Structure 1
Amino acid sequence: MLRSETNGEPDRTAAALTGLRHYQQADRNSGPAPAPILARVGRASVRDYGGQGPRILFVPSLINPPDVLDLDADRSLLRWLATQGLHPLLVDWDAPTDEEHDLTVAGHVETMLLPLIEAIGEPVALAGYCLGGTMALAAAALRPVTALALIASPWRFAAYPRKTRAALDELWKAGQPATDALGLLPMEVLQAAFWRLDPKRTIAKYEAHGRRAPEEPASQTFVRLEDWANDGPPLTRGAARELFIDMFTDDRPGQGMWQVAGQTIDPTALTMPVLEIASTTDHIVPASTTPGIGERLDLSLGHVGMIVGGRAKSSLWEPLAGWLSQATRPR
């Protein structure tokens, strides 16, 4: 990928390799301590970030840890929301057990997310990020929730560029034998999939990192984010098959054929307030792939930058807080 993206530009190649070396050799500081657990269902739990006001349950993707929503003292969407008259909660999926190899994405909703919503014991709003938004939408169709916010959440998978879908299909076919044997899809394969979704940005960010001094705050932020992006438990075999085949290949959600808990999920049938946040510069979840329901907020930030970037607070945090406060107001 480096050769392809920097062909004929040796200065860029050298800068990207320097960035890689700086990343590998960086000193690492631990992030904030995890918030306390409010409820648990099997391996999954709900972490409580406190605050006064309506409860908002954030549903992260199954891919990568939920840390991006609570990255550090200066870049924690959840801790900031707790100061804005809201009470944020966070689903922590944890790592699959040996008995869960065939658990699908829909199965995570059925056996973990829905019971966690019930265990909270009072009405909640849902806010889903990335694949977590896809799952939150399904949960909102199956349980009464006060509002639903979808942040860069894919639904119409056929809207991904044909080249991207073909590359992911190729990646899945290469990784399927090992996935079938292990019962799990390793994080390394998932990370390679993300690289294929946006190879230019992958190389460009390491190139930029290589041109900065390692002690710069921006360099330290880069290391924290890359550690998050490269971390996380494997995906179960069942969830991997559903993601790559049923979603990316067959577009079952977008075709109105995705079933969860025996019910076909129809986004247009939702009756609670819905906010859909998408970005015109997001290559991981292009704006064209989102469900296309409810109110819409369009950004021009990257998939991760919209959550933790320099413009995240004014572009996403503040509008999201305002909308959630209004949407969850008693009527």
Structure 2
Amino acid sequence: MPLFLSLLRSETAASPERRAAALAGLKAYQEAERPPERAPKPVIATAGRACLRDYGGSGPPVVFVPSLINPPFILDLAPGNSLLEWLATQGIRPLLVDWGTPEPEDRDQGIDHHVGELLLPLLDSLGAPALLAGYCLGGTLAMAAAALRPVRGLVTIAAPWRFRRYGDFARAAIAAQWEAAQPACARLGLVPMEVLQAGFWQLDPARTIAKFERFGRLAPGSDQARAFLALEDWANAGAPLTYAAGAQMFERFFRDDRPGMGRWWVNGTRVVPARLACPALELLSTTDRIVPAATAAGLAERRSLALGHVGMIVGGRARTMVWEPLRDWFLAAAHTR
């Protein structure tokens, strides 16, 4: 809340009316009635605190790897707006990685540990190579997994790889944020979601304020209001990162750009996207402010869209521009020998 209020003051300094509208929207959001929580899908495999959830369907299994930041349910946001539930009706068997909630004693589990000790055992539990799909930072981890295990195909969606292409200004702001938060995170053994959320807000502070202005004008209980609540609740939720995972992300990825510089080694294997031995597709958005298109890995097969970071998964045009092409690509890859 202090950061939001600081952004609010700076973004609306010349407009008391906008400030009042954003505060009214924030109050409406806080007080809005939520639907009952959806029951989690059954677990078919576990590895440490992580598990693999089965969305049913008949057809080739596709393991979806969500980001470590925010909960995995962006891929299953709401009835009628769930990529995974829809794919289960399209001849695909979607399986979702749930990273679980780390405890302070997990502090030394870095991003490499998430790949080698959590994700790979979940893939191995299937008994045969599966298709793999990763969203946001989950796509970065999925590329590492595809370098370490045979997979039938890989899709990354809005996944960062060349972190230096965030630009000097954004990287300096991220570095300053970590420098301020690191001592407390080191004591906790965790990186709270609030630290990560602060980074997202600072990437586009104007939009952060404007969305609450718009929400305050929506009719309570309308379809638009319910959609906003579902998405904003997701954006404000999520387990903390382990301290080691946060340090690796901020220092080795954003500061040093080890993936983009070809210097990321996991379990003794250097992860180089160009050397992947499976069909691979990356989807990127030219209007993405969270993961700019320039940061993508540059896979040989790529599709550029203009849907925004979250819009690629749950936006009004996501079904025709992302979901249906994904289904077609998965089915084709599953039948490629």
Q: Please say if 1:34 is aligned against 2:49.
A: no
- After TM superposition, the structure 1 stretch with the greater mean CA deviation from structure 2, 111-120 or 195-204, is 195-204
Are the aligned partners of 2:50 and 2:99 in contact in 1 as well (CA < 8 Å)? yes
Equivalence for 2:15: 9
Cα deviation, residue 172, structure 1: 0.3
CA distance in structure 1 between the aligned counterparts of 2:13 and 2:287, rounded to whole angstroms: 24
Equivalence for 1:327: 333
Equivalence for 1:316: 322
SS at 1:285 equivalent: coil
- After TM superposition, the structure 1 stretch with the greater mean CA deviation from structure 2, 13-22 or 246-255, is 13-22
* 1:18 corresponds to which of 15, 24, 28: 24
Q: Please say if 1:101 is aligned against 2:107.
A: yes
CA distance in structure 2 between the aligned counterparts of 1:161 and 1:214, rounded to whole angstroms: 40
AA matched with 1:199 = P
Equivalence for 2:169: 163
Percent of pairs with identical residues = 57
* 2:64 corresponds to which of 58, 63, 78: 58
Deviations 1:10-66 (A, max 9, x none): 332222111101111111113432111111111100001111111100000111110
CA distance in structure 2 between the aligned counterparts of 1:6 and 1:299, rounded to whole angstroms: 31
- After TM superposition, the structure 1 stretch with the greater mean CA deviation from structure 2, 108-117 or 9-18, is 9-18
Equivalence for 2:193: 187
SS at 1:4 equivalent: helix
CA distance in structure 1 between the aligned counterparts of 2:91 and 2:37, rounded to whole angstroms: 24
CA distance in structure 1 between the aligned counterparts of 2:86 and 2:98, rounded to whole angstroms: 19
Are the aligned partners of 2:131 and 2:154 in contact in 1 as well (CA < 8 Å)? yes
AA matched with 2:219 = A
CA distance in structure 1 between the aligned counterparts of 2:275 and 2:49, rounded to whole angstroms: 31
Q: Please say if 1:197 is aligned against 2:203.
A: yes
Equivalence for 1:257: 263
Q: Please say if 1:303 is aligned against 2:287.
A: no
CA distance in structure 2 between the aligned counterparts of 1:260 and 1:125, rounded to whole angstroms: 20
AA matched with 2:259 = P
Give the TM-score of the pair, scaled to structure 2.
0.96
Cα deviation, residue 122, structure 1: 2.1
CA distance in structure 2 between the aligned counterparts of 1:97 and 1:62, rounded to whole angstroms: 14
Superposition misfits of 4+ residues, deviation over 3 angstroms = none
* Equivalent residues in 2 for 1:115-134, closer than 5 Å: 115-134=121-140
SS at 1:120 equivalent: coil
CA distance in structure 2 between the aligned counterparts of 1:15 and 1:209, rounded to whole angstroms: 9
Give the TM-score of the pair, scaled to structure 1.
0.98
Q: Name structure 1 gaps, 5 residues minimum.
A: none
CA distance in structure 1 between the aligned counterparts of 2:307 and 2:288, rounded to whole angstroms: 7
Q: Please say if 1:238 is aligned against 2:241.
A: no
CA distance in structure 1 between the aligned counterparts of 2:71 and 2:32, rounded to whole angstroms: 21
AA matched with 1:207 = E
CA distance in structure 1 between the aligned counterparts of 2:332 and 2:15, rounded to whole angstroms: 51
RMSD: 1.1
Are the aligned partners of 2:104 and 2:188 in contact in 1 as well (CA < 8 Å)? no
CA distance in structure 2 between the aligned counterparts of 1:315 and 1:200, rounded to whole angstroms: 27
CA distance in structure 2 between the aligned counterparts of 1:261 and 1:26, rounded to whole angstroms: 47
